[in-house]
């Protein structure tokens, strides 16, 4: 829907960007008008995410994302423009304008309502004769009725159309059910239930919305777990099972488990900070989501080859964030659920308290690969172990673990320390050379960070950026005669931004970041903010404008001539004008 400028201005005024961003990012370092923190949109250890309170914008110099407070909420909460506006309106206690025609927003609301009704249907099936099989399974897994109610666990009957019929009675269409991933189209053209004969776990986001489902099959069959497909409201790589419950925990850490049953078992045993990824290894998006709610994660994956591999991957992702990582070492059980059932909650609590930090865990993994009584294997161990220690950021930390490696291998400490620092120097030099190479490639530097916005003509694109920068900072220039049409721009993204700016200027509307967010995509807004960050000499605005116009027109003419069919007669005529002759 289109919001009035007055409403958007009031919304932004009541949602100061520093206050809003501080709810997700620890802003500490200050440089002039900017406050810096670790970017919530990509993994980094050095803060490159800036928030400018005067301009009410954010910009990451690492990944390139940027925009207004509305764009920030859209990105971090995975919301559309209208829903982000509604989110901020609720935060500020503002009343939303009357609903207008917004198809996507209405579709999103409808899908969330459908998911909620479907979750209620699955839960109610537990009390029916058809749900006895699911009840027996939960009893076998020692899942209490209270826990099932807390998680909203239900049952999808072993039927082709139970859910479809129930939801159609509530007024939902087959196409709405298909969009939500709850039914599938058969070869004959009809629809059938996606989830059948499965224990159903609703996936609930941190705002309490049912966004999807995860179903565990009862009995034989594949896949063991089935998740909802990607929908308008569900993206499994950006959500975590049970985070809506775990975020309320007072434990000070989050337990990262592999499966839904593990999470349910842990919560039932009193460990209310457990979560699980949804059928995938931990993703960077999920890691950043975790870092919003805790600064310590304990990995409690299964005690098998796949679990060990997944733990290594999770460590690699989490260590790039400002998160302390520990790893649980399960003994005598394959997963947390089995351990708790065999040894009880108190034994698991002691296991948590004794969990290894991620360096100890990885070093132990390296040690167990080699027989240190064999010289050849000892050499290989030292190569891998010193490389691991060399990657640790702190000098003291490297020294401590260098001593540990030396002790394990029976080698002099000073030799290991020297080897670690030699490898460290090599890693730093390699990183420096890569950065230097990147910085010395001007064409690459002129490109936007977003791959989908690559420039085919960087020379023209720089002038197009200049035009946009001038118009966004001095809108009155948009009324000057002779401005090029957007069709002459080489970059479709820049042409779109330019077109939106000129349109709003012509209609005497605001060109502030918050108002533009309704018309521009997230990538386009990030590009606009990056363009606006470059300095402008306002005293030379007119001259710069004319220079940009000329460059854009000349480059457009060159592209047109290059693409046009070769006219030898016209070419010869131009050459004769230059004093050259053709035989």
- Please state the rounded mean pLDDT for residues 142-149: 96
Q: pLDDT category, 470, cuts 50, 70, 90?
A: confident
The proportion of the chain whose per-residue pLDDT surpasses 70, expressed as a percent, equals 89
- Please state the rounded mean pLDDT for residues 263-282: 93
Q: pLDDT category, 582, cuts 50, 70, 90?
A: very low
Q: What is the CA radius of gyration of the chain?
A: 29
Asked whether residue 337 carries a pLDDT value surpassing 70, the answer given is yes
Q: CA–CA separation, 280 vs 237, rounded Å?
A: 8
CATH of domain 103-234: 3.90.980.10
Q: CA–CA separation, 322 vs 297, rounded Å?
A: 11
Which pLDDT does position 478 carry in this prediction? 77
Structure tokens at 555: 């480059």
Asked whether residue 443 carries a pLDDT value surpassing 50, the answer given is no
H helix intervals, 247-304:
260-268, 284-291
Long-range contacts of 490-493, Cβ-Cβ distance < 8 Å, separation of 24 or more: 490/455, 490/456, 490/457, 490/460, 490/461, 490/464, 490/555, 490/556, 490/559, 491/453, 491/455, 491/456, 491/457, 491/460, 491/461, 491/464, 493/448, 493/453, 493/523, 493/524, 493/527
**Among all chains, which residue has been given the structure tokens 């030379």?**
540
Domain spans of the chain, in order of start: 5-92, 103-234, 243-362, 370-439, 451-563
Asked whether residue 563 carries a pLDDT value surpassing 70, the answer given is no
Burial of 237 per CB tally in 10 Å (0-12, 13-18, 19+)? middle
Q: Report the CATH fold assignment for 243-362.
A: Dna Topoisomerase Vi A Subunit; Chain: A, domain 2 (3.40.1360)
Backbone φ and ψ for 211, nearest 5 degrees, come out as: -105, -15
pLDDT tens string 372-387? 999 999 999 999 999 9
Between 19 and 479, the more confident residue is 19
pLDDT tens string 4-31? 777 888 888 889 999 999 988 888 767 6
Which pLDDT does position 244 carry in this prediction? 93
Residue 154 in contact with residue 122, Cβ under 8 Å?
A: yes
CATH class, domain 451-563, is mainly alpha
CA-to-CA separations, 60 to 4, 72, 119, 292, in angstroms, rounded: 29, 11, 39, 17
Asked whether residue 336 carries a pLDDT value surpassing 80, the answer given is yes
Which pLDDT does position 536 carry in this prediction? 58
Highest mean predicted confidence (pLDDT) among 63-77, 172-186, 389-403: 172-186
Q: pLDDT category, 329, cuts 50, 70, 90?
A: confident
Which pLDDT does position 349 carry in this prediction? 94
Residue 278 in contact with residue 263, Cβ under 8 Å?
A: no
Asked whether residue 345 carries a pLDDT value surpassing 90, the answer given is yes
- Please state the rounded mean pLDDT for residues 102-107: 75
Which pLDDT does position 291 carry in this prediction? 83
Q: CA–CA separation, 538 vs 78, rounded Å?
A: 37
The sign one gets for the Cα dihedral 195, 201, 205, 210 is positive
Asked whether residue 515 carries a pLDDT value surpassing 70, the answer given is yes
Q: pLDDT category, 137, cuts 50, 70, 90?
A: very high
Which pLDDT does position 388 carry in this prediction? 92
- Please state the rounded mean pLDDT for residues 164-189: 95
Supply the mean pLDDT for the chain: 86
CATH of domain 5-92: 3.90.580.10
Enter the pTM of the model: 0.69
């Amino acid at each position: 829907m289109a919001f009035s400028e007055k409403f958007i201005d009031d919304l932004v005024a009541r949602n100061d960007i520093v206050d809003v961003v501080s709810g997700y990012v620890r802003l500490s370092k200050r440089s002039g008008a900017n406050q810096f923190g670790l970017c919530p949109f990509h993994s980094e250890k050095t803060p490159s995410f800036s928030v400018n309170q005067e301009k009410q914008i954010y910009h990451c110099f690492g990944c390139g994302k940027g925009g207004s407070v509305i764009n920030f909420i859209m990105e971090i909460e995975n919301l559309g423009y209208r829903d982000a506006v509604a989110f901020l309106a609720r935060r500020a206690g503002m009343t939303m304008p009357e609903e207008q025609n917004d198809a996507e927003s209405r579709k999103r609301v409808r899908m969330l309502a459908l998911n909620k009704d479907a979750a209620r249907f699955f839960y109610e099936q537990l009390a029916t004769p058809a749900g006895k099989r699911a009840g027996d399974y939960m009893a076998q897994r020692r899942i209490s009725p209270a826990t099932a109610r807390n998680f909203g666990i239900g049952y999808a009957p072993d039927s082709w159309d139970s859910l479809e019929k129930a939801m159609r009675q509530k007024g939902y269409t087959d196409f709405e059910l298909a969009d939500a991933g709850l039914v599938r189209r058969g070869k004959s053209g009809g629809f059938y239930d996606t989830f059948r004969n499965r224990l159903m776990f609703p996936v609930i986001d941190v705002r309490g919305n049912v966004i999807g489902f995860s179903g565990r099959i009862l009995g034989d069959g594949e896949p063991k777990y089935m998740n909802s497909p990607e929908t308008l409201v569900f993206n499994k790589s950006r959500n975590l099972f049970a985070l809506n419950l775990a975020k309320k925990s007072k434990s000070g850490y989050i337990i990262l488990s592999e499966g839904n049953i593990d999470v349910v078992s842990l919560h039932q045993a009193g460990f209310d900070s457990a979560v699980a990824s949804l059928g995938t290894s931990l993703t960077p998006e999920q890691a950043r989501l975790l870092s919003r709610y805790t600064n310590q994660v304990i990995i409690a994956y299964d005690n098998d080859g796949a679990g060990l591999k997944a733990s290594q991957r999770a460590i690699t992702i989490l260590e790039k964030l400002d998160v302390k990582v520990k790893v649980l070492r399960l003994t005598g059980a394959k997963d947390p659920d089995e351990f708790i059932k065999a040894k009880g909650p108190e034994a698991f609590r002691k296991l948590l308290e004794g969990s290894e930090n991620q360096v100890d865990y990885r070093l132990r993994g390296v040690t167990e690969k080699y027989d240190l009584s064999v010289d050849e294997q000892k050499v290989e161990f030292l190569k891998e172990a010193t490389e691991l220690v060399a990657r640790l950021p702190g000098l003291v930390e490297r020294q401590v673990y260098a001593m540990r490696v030396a002790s394990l291998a029976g080698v002099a400490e000073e030799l290991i320390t020297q080897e670690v620092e030699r490898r460290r120097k090599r890693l730093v030099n390699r990183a420096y050379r890569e950065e230097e190479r990147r910085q010395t490639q001007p064409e690459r530097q002129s490109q936007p960070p977003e791959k989908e916005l690559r420039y085919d003509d960087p020379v023209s694109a720089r002038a197009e950026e200049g035009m946009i920068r001038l118009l966004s900072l001095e809108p009155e220039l948009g009324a000057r005669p002779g401005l090029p049409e957007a069709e002459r721009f080489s970059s479709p993204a820049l042409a779109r931004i330019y077109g939106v700016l000129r349109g709003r200027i012509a209609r005497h509307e605001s060109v502030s970041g918050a108002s533009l967010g309704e018309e521009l995509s997230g990538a386009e807004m990030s590009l606009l903010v990056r363009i606006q960050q470059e300095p402008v000499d306002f005293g030379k605005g007119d001259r710069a404008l004319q220079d940009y116009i000329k460059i854009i027109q000349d480059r457009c003419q060159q592209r047109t001539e290059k693409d046009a069919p070769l006219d030898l007669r016209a070419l010869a005529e131009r050459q004769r004008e230059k004093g050259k002759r053709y035989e």
